[in-house]
Amino acid sequence: MSKENMLKGGEFLVKETLAQDIFTPEEFNEEQRMMAQSCREFTETQVVPQMDQLEKHDRKLLTQLLKEAGQLGLLGISIPEEYEGFGQNFVTSMLTTEEMGKGYSFAVAFAAHTGIGTLPILYYGNDAQKKKYIPKLASGEFIGAYCLTEAEAGSDANSGKSRAVSSADGSHYILNGVKIWITNGGVADLLIVFAKIDDDKNLSAFIVETATKGVTLGPDEEKMGIKGSSTVQIYFEDVVVPAENLLGERNGGFKIALNILNLGRIKLSGATVGAGKAVIGHAIGYANERKQFGTPISTFGAIRQKIAEMNIRNFASESLTYRASQNIDDASAALVAGGMDKGLAAVEAMRQYAIEAGIAKVYGSEVLDFIVDEGVQVYGGMGYSAETPVERAYRDSRINRIFEGTNEINRMVIVGELLKRAMKGELDLLTPAMAVAKELMGIPDFGSTTTDYFEAKKKQITNFKKAILMVAGAAVQTFTDKFAEEQEIMLHLADMIIFTYAAESMLLRIEKQNDNVSNEKAALMKDVADVYFYDAAALIHKHGADAVNAFATSDERQAMLMGMKRFTKADQVNTVAARRRIADKAIAEGKYIF
């Protein structure tokens, strides 16, 4: 994509995105598909058959699997070749994350190692640190973990109590503290640890080897799900950390933590897409085999509706995940072309698209929760049995709405980051918001109707965005600098934004692929869009009206509610027939069909 066409993070809300400028999953090349196949084969042959043993906290087996993944090159997909990786772009790493996402709780261990356990050093480490540790992490010789959370420092990470005291000669630090909920902690060789140095107000980050004296790994936590990943407390008692193991700048740890969490959020979305595809396949397979009243339950309308909706929502999640991933790749490439270091460019690209990463995390985790719940329901009583794959998927999914910042926190970040960028002048929300407010006061312009499918849908997207701008503009005007305290309104706004971004992402994907796929697939994609837009319009209207009723009164409220109704108007759709067509194809193929 040219630099001129590149939208900044959050600009999707006020500027049109062209279909030609997004990436769709249909565009993966042969090399990328081969890498995905390697991940798929590893997951199917090595991981899934051993999940029962992994869930017994078998640290030896978990270590073995991670090292085998390293030997196959799966841990080094996005590691530069100079550090013995494959040097692939972010979109490729997302595809491999998606495939590994089908590996239940092993996917958590894999993602923690390749993401938050490795990338802080790759992005923030100096040359010596990268040369010393990155090849070992890429090969699986070292397993990585990320130590941020403390008992009294969850969402407020910078309030952690861990301390690193500088030595008199400046040669080392003495680290003390306790970290909790550390993924991979029980099998890790290398830790990224956050602590405050002396009396600093902000965190710093350190590279700590677990073999260091004073590092103690606790027993594995007993969890609701993701039992096959190692989650422990880690204790640091007078641990001597060489000064050269300070990662990045002193006082810069909080910045590292936030930027790495942006990465973790969108990576989690990729994993949920893969997990969703796996569960859809299991549910359809069971529905085709299970008979009641002498016929497969996949012939029943109630089951077919579930199968269709699972496909529809996963399609939306997949579409927005790869759209945002390509944005990150494009921004990173542009920054490198401008002379920025590759690691810093990757970090800055993640920061630029923090809004989209938050959307992907929230939407992907909630879509997967819907899919696994419906998967259990398709299985019926058998779905409650630990013998079925959907039972494990159900348990494992729940953590995703808590991981990488709770979905509530992420919703606040989505809205808060948009407004912060507007205040800084990085994003012009005021001009379009004022235009919408003016439009409300005028005679409604219903415009000319169009018979072009994509133009009609784009008009709906434009109206969804007007609904968001109307509510956001009026709420900020009402509450001014106190708006951040109105969390319920922010939650409503966030959902309006999320549904709009999902709808636009799927539409752009369908438009781009309309002439490249079979007529049958193009028609099914349009069925997906028709159902999703119809439902999204109602959801956006509900969240918008709830937000308006929370602060507007009298004539202003009436005008805004009328505007909300106008902006969320949707064509009538026979959703039953559309879902039946989607379900027919999925049932025939026995899997997710896109």
- 287-336 pLDDT, tens digit per residue, is 999 999 999 999 999 999 999 999 999 999 999 999 999 999 999 999 99
CB 264 within 8 A of CB 356: no
Q: Estimate the share of the chain in helix, then strand, then coil, as percent rounded to the nearest 5.
A: 65, 10, 25
Is 500 a member of any domain? yes
Domain count of the fold of the chain: 4
CB 586 within 8 A of CB 311: yes
237-246 per-position pLDDT tens digit: 999 999 999 9
160 and 282 belong to one structural domain: no
How many of the other CB atoms lie within 10 Å of CB of 408? 16
537 CB-contact burial (10 Å; exposed 0-12 / middle 13-18 / buried 19+) = buried
CB 64 within 8 A of CB 56: no
Q: Which amino acid is at 407?
A: N
Structure confidence at residue 86 (pLDDT): 94
Q: Which amino acid is at 259?
A: N
70 and 33 belong to one structural domain: yes
7-64 per-position pLDDT tens digit: 999 999 999 999 999 999 999 999 999 999 999 999 999 999 999 999 999 999 999 9
User: What is the SS3 assignment for 176?
Assistant: strand
Cα(157)–Cα(102) distance, rounded to whole angstroms? 30
pLDDT of 445 strictly over 80: no
Q: Which amino acid is at 452?
A: D
470 and 556 belong to one structural domain: yes
Q: Write the DSSP string, 257-298.
A: HHHHHHHHHHHHHHHHHHHHHHHHHHHHHHHHH-EETTEEGG
Q: Which amino acid is at 365?
A: S
Closest CA to 410 of 309, 495, 344, 302: 495
148-202 per-position pLDDT tens digit: 999 987 777 778 899 999 999 999 999 999 999 999 999 999 999 999 999 999 9
Cα(68)–Cα(157) distance, rounded to whole angstroms? 34
CB 268 within 8 A of CB 397: no
226 and 258 belong to one structural domain: no
With cut-offs at 50, 70 and 90, classify the pLDDT of residue 5.
low
435 and 564 belong to one structural domain: yes
452 and 576 belong to one structural domain: yes
Cα(408)–Cα(174) distance, rounded to whole angstroms? 36
Q: Which domain holds residue 184?
A: 146-250
| End position of a domain, from candidates 143, 168, 190 | 143
CB 392 within 8 A of CB 103: no
CB 9 within 8 A of CB 352: yes
Structure confidence at residue 139 (pLDDT): 97
437 and 581 belong to one structural domain: yes
Is 205 a member of any domain? yes
Output DSSP code: residue 207: E
Side-chain half-sphere exposure of 117, counting CA atoms within 13 A:
28
Is 18 a member of any domain? no
Is 529 a member of any domain? yes
Looking at the annotation, which residues are catalytic?
A: 404
Query: Cα angle vertex 226, ends 223, 228, to 5°?
Result: 100
How far the first Cα of the chain sits from its last, in Å, is 25
CB 429 within 8 A of CB 418: yes
Which residues make Cβ contacts (< 8 Å) with residue 73, sequence separation at least 6? Answer: 38, 85, 86
433 and 582 belong to one structural domain: yes
462-471 per-position pLDDT tens digit: 999 999 999 9
Output DSSP code: residue 322: H
pTM above 0.75, yes or no: yes
CB 272 within 8 A of CB 318: no
- Give me the phi and psi of 504, to 5 degrees please: -65, -40
164 and 246 belong to one structural domain: yes
Cα(522)–Cα(546) distance, rounded to whole angstroms? 36
352 and 393 belong to one structural domain: yes
CATH number for the domain harbouring residue 518: 1.20.140.10
- Give me the phi and psi of 88, to 5 degrees please: -85, 160
Mean of pLDDT over the chain:
95
Structure confidence at residue 451 (pLDDT): 84
Q: Which amino acid is at 60?
A: K
Is 106 a member of any domain? yes
Is 303 a member of any domain? yes
Is 503 a member of any domain? yes
Antiparallel, parallel or unpaired: β 215-217 and 231-242: antiparallel
Is 180 a member of any domain? yes
Closest CA to 160 of 270, 254, 43, 226: 254
579 and 447 belong to one structural domain: yes
Helix (H) or strand (E) holding 457: helix 453-479
439 and 585 belong to one structural domain: yes
345-384 per-position pLDDT tens digit: 999 999 999 999 999 999 999 999 999 999 999 999 999 9
